[in-house]
């Protein structure tokens, strides 16, 4: 089993953009909407990966309206990357292999032998699906599962993407409004999330960010130093080429294989960071963020938190 790469971070931290760019490397395989559906079934092993790939090739030539919601794209909309096979977080797979739980925390004790075999087979199936030697999996919920992932894949890499908590909170609120569920809990469920259900949406979003980052920082020391990498979303947008070179070097992939003329054009689509949270949020919401996560923002290097 070659070393899988797990991208983690609080929801709305930019993990999707990092994942989209990572899977452009010629040696990297990933989960697609169709492969998520196939591997979300207990019988996925009987489906030849090359046959599944041909089916998905056909599906992506049909109008979205003719496809069931689970198979509709695009999932690469933020960068508009040209591809036959979109990216997916693999929720159907996780929902199948992990026992139902109140929150998204998982530890080494949850990594049973049967579960280890199941997920190793999922990774290997996708490597054969794309005919590539490495595999990248992006799921923000996995920010609460680092000990679990390390127990399953002792030689795997964890890449944590950190973003300004105020921008994350504003983005979570925007997504909740778009889904017409502003009052409903959205995204990852950290341990203790039910205690925050009566809090305001901005407080819930800020608390989720703080819990996510704090959990990753607390669990990271269990990993060998060369198997954990933390990147900043703002750096990714400001200097995408340099950050992707650092990413590939850290996980043992040749960076130069990534920098083709076509991929450089994709990097040109990445735009410098904008502090849109300042205009999206009301003054009282910005003040609330300062009270809830101000010290954490300063701790994690967002030093203007006190003047936000």
Q: How do residues 144-168 score in pLDDT, each as one tens digit?
A: 999 999 999 999 999 999 999 999 9
As a 3-state breakdown, the chain gives helix, strand, coil percent values, each rounded to 5, of 55, 5, 40
Mean pLDDT of 210-235: 97
Dihedral through CA 41, CA 42, CA 45, CA 47, nearest 10?
Answer: -40
Q: What's the total number of domains in the chain?
A: 1
Domain assignment present for residue 117? The answer is yes
Expressed as residue numbers, the domain containing 234 is: 5-301
Q: Is the pLDDT of residue 255 over 70?
A: yes
For residue 253, is it within any domain?
Answer: yes
Dihedral sign for Cα atoms in the order 141, 144, 149, 150: positive
Contacts of 200 (CB under 8 A, 6+ apart): 288
Q: What is the mean pLDDT of the chain?
A: 89
Give the Å distances, CA to CA, from 44 to 5, 52, 149, 240. 22, 10, 21, 36
Torsion angle, alpha carbons of 134, 139, 145, 148, to 10:
-30
In this prediction, residue 182 carries a pLDDT of 59
Phi-psi region of 231 (alpha: psi -120 to 50; beta: other; left: phi over 0): beta
CA–CA gap between residue 184 and residue 87 (Å, rounded): 26
What is the pLDDT at residue 81?
60
pLDDT band, residue 308 (cuts 50/70/90) = very low
pLDDT of residue 184: 75
DSSP-assigned beta bridge partners for residue 28: 134
Does 308 fall in a domain? no
**Could you tell me if residue 306 is inside a domain?**
no
Interval 99-113: pLDDT, tens: 889 999 999 999 999
Question: Could you tell me the CATH number of the domain that includes residue 75?
Answer: 3.40.50.300
Could you tell me which residue, 303 or 211, shows the higher pLDDT? 211
* Largest distance between two CA atoms of the chain: 58
155 located within any domain? yes
Q: Give the integer Cα–Cα distance in Å for 98 and 96.
A: 6
E strand or H helix at 291: helix 283-299
Residue 263, H or E segment = helix 261-267
Per the domain annotation, does 307 fall within a domain? Answer: no
The answer to whether the pTM exceeds 0.75 is yes
9 closest CA partner among 178, 226, 281, 211: 211
Q: What pLDDT shows up at residue 160?
A: 98
> Are the beta carbons of 216 and 160 closer than 8 angstroms?
yes
- The pLDDT value recorded for residue 84 is 53
Establish if 46 belongs to a structural domain: yes
Cα–Cα dist 160/5, whole Å: 11
Kindly give the residue spans of alpha helices, DSSP state H, lying in 23-73.
Answer: 33-39, 49-59
């Amino acid at each position: 089993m070659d070393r899988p790469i797990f991208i983690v971070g609080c929801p709305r931290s930019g993990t999707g953009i990092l994942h989209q760019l990572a899977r452009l490397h010629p040696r990297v395989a990933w989960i697609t909407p169709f492969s998520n559906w196939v591997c979300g079934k207990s019988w996925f092993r009987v489906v030849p990966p090359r046959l599944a790939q041909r089916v998905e090739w056909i599906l992506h030539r049909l109008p979205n309206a003719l496809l069931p919601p689970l198979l509709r794209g695009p999932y690469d909309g933020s960068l508009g990357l040209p591809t036959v096979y979109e990216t997916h977080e693999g929720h159907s797979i996780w929902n199948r292999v992990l026992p139902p739980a109140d929150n998204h925390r998982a530890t080494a004790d949850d990594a049973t032998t049967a579960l280890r075999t199941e997920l190793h087979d999922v990774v290997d199936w996708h490597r054969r699906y794309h005919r590539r030697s490495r595999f990248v999996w992006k799921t923000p919920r996995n920010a609460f599962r680092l000990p679990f992932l390390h127990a399953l894949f002792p030689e795997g890499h964890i890449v944590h993407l950190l973003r300004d908590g105020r921008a994350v909170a504003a983005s979570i609120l925007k997504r909740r409004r778009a889904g017409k569920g502003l009052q409903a809990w959205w995204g990852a469920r950290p341990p203790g999330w039910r205690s925050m259900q009566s809090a305001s949406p901005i407080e819930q979003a800020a608390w989720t960010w703080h819990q996510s980052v704090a959990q990753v920082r607390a669990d990271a020391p269990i990993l060998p130093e060369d198997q954990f990498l933390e990147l900043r979303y703002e750096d990714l947008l400001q200097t995408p080429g340099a950050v992707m070179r650092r990413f590939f070097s850290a996980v043992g992939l040749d960076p130069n294989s990534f920098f083709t003329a076509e991929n450089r054009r994709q990097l040109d689509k990445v735009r410098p960071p904008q502090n849109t949270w300042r205009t999206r949020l009301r003054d009282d919401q910005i003040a609330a963020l300062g009270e809830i996560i101000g010290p954490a923002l300063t701790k994690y290097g967002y030093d203007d938190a006190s003047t936000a």
